[in-house]
Structure 1
């Protein structure tokens, strides 16, 4: 073995043993360091863990106007946590987005809008705040809250341009929950809302702390969604323009004997807006119904021509949800969504009923003869929503003297497998309803007549809300009576001495020396001097 090799081996051996020894020592040190570091990380994670917040509310399917929303916010910290404020709010928000694909690539894309139209804050007394504003580890703090669902929104919520004050009044009404699928225990409800529109209400609990730079940071936050269905009264019927594309209250069709035969006459179909579909309180399982009266008139081409035999009458309910990323200036319409890229509409149609109306009786009338007064019927049978005695106007080119009329009562019932919300109009979202009535005839050639009639969906207030309203009215009457009594007490009066003719003429004057009745027992008592 050469000297170089002996030197390398001699140098390599001690170095290798020393390296193994040092490596073993480092491994032991590394293991110790890793365990200490892991414990430190776990401790830091525990210290940085957010407090757990639970929001508990009363178990109820939905809340109405003037209902009380009560509950408790429970906060549990895993470690001592400093904070500055604990906020409990009841908020209402609406979110919309519109996607448009046009020929110009520069304006393609998606626009979104967000609007917080309601915020009620629960005041928290200082006595409920933990000492030194520190949440102790493992301790649970309860903060009760109470909110009353308001009747309407503040005027500052709707400050954009509008076409009329009625639109402003509609926008200040509390809108119902729409399209919110994150409500606990309400996952199977279908309110026929598109993904492009969402109105939600929630109880929001938040813990904040101010940083060194003065900015507030959120330590923990928790929301609890609730469903709101406010009470809605029936509004006045819509004034429908005959040229309006959304509604058609009257249709005329020529009735023919056959494809290559002559005309029998003109069939007129007419209907008015019925009473609203009144949603009952959630505790009441009664169905929501209304009645539509379809009025028919047949103007024959010849006086001896008989009216056509009716076939079936199909009714459908059309639900339209309008949404926009800019505030509505007017009540939305379908034609506006085609002209404005910031608006959209989602429609869905539900089949209601299909009835055979072949047994409807026609009544012959004469233009010259006076019409007989309407026959009085029992109130249980009289379910028409409009006056049956009124007769539709004649067709445009009819100059005859004889015509025929008939009335068809169509019951409308909302399906039970859907969740309906009242008709409403807000700044970004609106919901409207309409009825499609299709009438067909048998034995004649001609198209089907179709009407599109507007209908409203209103909602009753809950029992609690009605009691609260009566209580408020009673308190208001008491306050008004107290105010009138106070005004009467402080009303200025003019005092003056009585006239000479009244002096000495009082009939209540007592005889001289006669004591008052209450002091008759003490009239003969003698006075005793204490000084003797």
Structure 2
């Protein structure tokens, strides 16, 4: 959460690593980065978790003014000239750690001979944000390629990466501790540490290249004249034509290669009748890589640009051994006699590497192109701007005529104070709130007036996005009054900008606009800056004790979680969830939540609007805590950890009713959390070699007993009220579906994913009955999580039911979300052959390098195939 400006200052100035050691020759503070589950040859990939901790050892007392930990990706390109050699460094990836452990240490004195540990966890993304590539390009294909993460290049690999020595791509964990001015030195000290990691992205297959006949580099057809010797006239021509082959899929560790073939058609045209086709003596095959590099961003692919490229690429060629194929000629009687060989196949599944005993990691030319093509990536926590430098205004947009009821793209208008005509800046907003703490004896700060365009986006959020986020929200419940939300959305803070970002994303996606990301990400960046500044300029104790600031922090973080997941991010939402769970874990239900309930007409607001109403002076946090619990429990599927919030204390010892917000009863959520603990216990015992199967069964049965009792009660209630007509409550239907999915999940943890087990078949069949009788007034879009779990265990005769339900959800959501991805994952799961080993195919709360991620709004379920031992 702290600025990385100082931590990267030496690197940006070009000061070497040795020089930084000289600056810190006293070494009163030693930093060491420890990585979990790390070994020398480990290679990370897209979606991999980089976990570990920063160890701080002290030989003298220091006052830590800032502590930062980040995951960075940096490219270094050295341009060698006749008289001058220049080196260009560019940081394309920057992810800052948000951790309460840092807040506890910043501003305190770290004692001599003391040791401190700060855990960290980063998730390597699939690609950079769309705002990372802002330069001109000839096509969107070039821009999309620039947003792909390049592999680590130029380090001391134990294999050949076929790259030049002048290009280096490096990923690493950077840590920096800055101390205040000391009496001994008279100035501040900066202590840094760095730990590099190896990274190879997981890339999707690119479409075939468009190869013209005049292409100097790619050739799919060629013709040669045949002659006995150089003095004789040709006796014929032979032509070779080939289609573009399927790509070679090399795994990260180079231990396997997927088989592929190259189909070549040879055509021999004799000039004299009676000439037989020549004999094919040998076949050569080589792998060649081209690497272009320059300091300026590329506007087009160098090998496909119409303009000739003045710079020659760096070329590496490796000869491959291939067996000479057996061919047979077929005569075609045309105007002139000819012989043709159709589909002479060169098999690559038996390829062995010549000249190098090590296996290869192939580096695509596009990777080197994107090394210098994208500006600095939008980070998880933006570096805060100078005071007064950023206005709370709508993002700047090019003038365009867009006709829609909710938007009017005119010149951006700032948020305006009700009693002033001057733009309200971020710093003035924070200073006014800090200088005027709300108390019963003070009048609150006057409300801010939104410009019409931003007001329309706020109303769009309340009318459309909110209902889409919380499809089972009960307006008649104790959580039903959204007056507090409207007040927060109108104050111009971090929650306001986060909601504007989410509203813009949803609105433009529903209209299928091609350029909707730009404005949404600008609002998103504003929200991140506001949230970062709120955390930096607010002491930890103040944040924990001030209900208004706490509500703003939690609400903005949760909204950013929704934005990241709705936008398709896989793990960028995890730091926001960690921050919320860390804050809520420090509170108890009795201390945080109000003991007295409010009436329906009360307007609980995190922003104090009246000095006479004590209820309105305190924010109602039940809504936010319920949403945070929902995310924390269901996120165990992707993080592979247990819930960080003590969910039993909140769901059993407070007035929180999850059904009023998420449509699921408390006992179902408790069971899902217990399953996460059960799986963590099983994994831990298995690693220690002390797993007791009877104990595992007993623990699983206790959870299943509670689920079965709850489902039986829901059945009895449904029969008793079966003839009642009127408003249908979604909670019984939603809870029963989640409970049945939990039974399936419990069976996979205890017995493995066997669809033929009686308890699994019964749960799947009962869920089909529930879904068949589903009321039309209750939406289905909140059920992707249980539908995926149950659908994975569905037999062939029931798979069409789940596919049709997910297609219906996709239609209800207007294509916004990941229901289409879920359908593809289920089809892939159903088409996959049944593979069993000692552990079986597990459908559990875990992650893995070969696993696939599934996102349903903020809910993820993980399905991974463990490697055989």
TM-score (norm 1): 0.60
In the TM superposition, what whole-angstrom CA distance separates every residue of 1:299-353 from its partner, at most 9, and x where no partner exists? 122343211122211111112222111111111239999854xx55211111101
Indicate whether 1:63 and 2:44 are aligned: yes
* Alpha-carbon shift at residue 99 of structure 1 (Å): 1.5
Match of 1:158 in 2: 133
Alignment of 1:400-415 (within 5 A): 400=336, 402-412=338-348, 413=351, 415=353
1:166 CA drift (Å): 0.3
Looking at structure 2, the residues matched to 469 and 79 of structure 1 have their Cα atoms a distance apart, in angstroms, of 41
- Once the two structures are superposed, residues 12-35 of structure 1 have per-residue CA deviations (whole angstroms, 9 ceiling, x without a partner) of xxxxxxxxxxxxxxxxxxxxxxxx
The match for 2:249 among 278, 285, 291 is: 278
2:321 aligned with 1:353: yes
2:280 aligned counterpart, secondary structure: strand
Note the 1:53-202 alignment, pairs <5 A.
53-58=31-36, 59-60=38-39, 61-101=42-82, 108-125=83-100, 129-130=104-105, 132-181=107-156, 188-202=158-172
Q: Which residue of 2 aligns with 1:224?
A: 195
Matches of residues 118-517 of structure 1 in structure 2 within 5 Å?
118-125=93-100, 129-130=104-105, 132-181=107-156, 188-209=158-179, 219-282=190-253, 285-333=255-303, 339-340=309-310, 343=311, 345-353=313-321, 355-356=323-324, 359-367=326-334, 399-400=335-336, 402-412=338-348, 413=351, 415=353, 417-423=358-364, 424-425=366-367, 427-429=369-371, 477-478=784-785
Offset, 1:94: 0.6
The 2-side partners of 1:84 and 1:229 are apart by 36
- The number of residues matched between the two structures is 358
Against the structure 1 CA distance between its residues 311 and 93, is the aligned structure 2 distance closer, same or farther, given a 3 Å change threshold? same
Task: Give distance in 2, aligned partners of 1:427 and 1:196.
Answer: 14
Aligned residues of 2:181 and 2:189 also touching (Cα < 8 A): no
TM-superposition CA deviations, 1:360-402 (whole Å, max 9, x none): 21111234xxxxxxxxxxxxxxxxxxxxxxxxxxxxxxx5254
Corresponding residue for residue 506 of structure 1: none
- Rounded to whole Å, the distance in 2 between the matches of 1:47 and 1:76 is 15
Alpha-carbon distance in 2 for matches of 1:113, 1:46: 26
Offset at residue 266 of structure 1 (A): 1.2
Contact 1:325 1:428 in 2 (8 A): no
Equivalent residues of 1:323, 1:428 under 8 A apart: no
Shift of residue 211, structure 1, vs aligned partner: 5.6
Structure 1 CA distance for aligned equivalents of residues 102 and 318 of structure 2 = 56
| 3-state SS in 1 of match to 2:73 | strand
| Contact 1:319-1:347 at 8 Å conserved across structures | yes
- Please name the residue that 1:436 is paired with: none
Q: Could you say if the C-alpha distance between residues 127 and 239 of structure 1 is closer, same or farther in structure 2, counting changes exceeding 3 Å?
A: closer
Structure 2 contact 101–118 (Cα < 8 Å) conserved? no
Aligned partner of 1:390 in structure 2 is none
Q: Give the Cα–Cα distance (whole angstroms) in 1 for the partners of residues 322 and 143 of structure 2.
A: 39
Q: Unaligned 5+ residue runs, structure 1? A: 1-44, 102-107, 368-398, 431-463, 489-532
Tell me which residue corresponds to 1:51: 29
RMSD of aligned alpha carbons: 3.8
For 2:336 and 2:24, how far apart are their aligned partners in 1? 92
Counterpart contact for 2:151–2:367, Cα < 8 Å: no
What is the CA–CA distance in structure 2 between the aligned matches of 1:469 and 1:275, rounded to whole Å?
38
2-structure distance, mates of 1:65, 1:236:
20
TM-score by length of 2: 0.38
SS at match of 1:64: coil
Query: Could you say what secondary structure the match of 2:112 adopts?
Result: coil
Contact 2:332–2:339 at 8 Å: present in 1 too? yes
Shift of 1:427: 4.9
Question: What is the DSSP-based 3-state SS (H/G/I as helix, E as strand, rest coil) of the residue aligned with 1:278?
Answer: coil
Distance 1:171 1:207 in 2: 33
Show the counterpart of 2:421. none
For residues 100 and 303 of structure 1, what CA distance do their matches in structure 2 show? 59
Bigger relative CO (Cα 8 Å, ≥ 6 apart) = 1
Q: Which has the higher helix share?
A: 2
Distance 1:289 1:323 in 2: 31
Structure showing greater radius of gyration is 1
Deviation at 1:479, TM superposition (A): 9.6
CA contact (8 A) 2:283 2:324 kept: yes
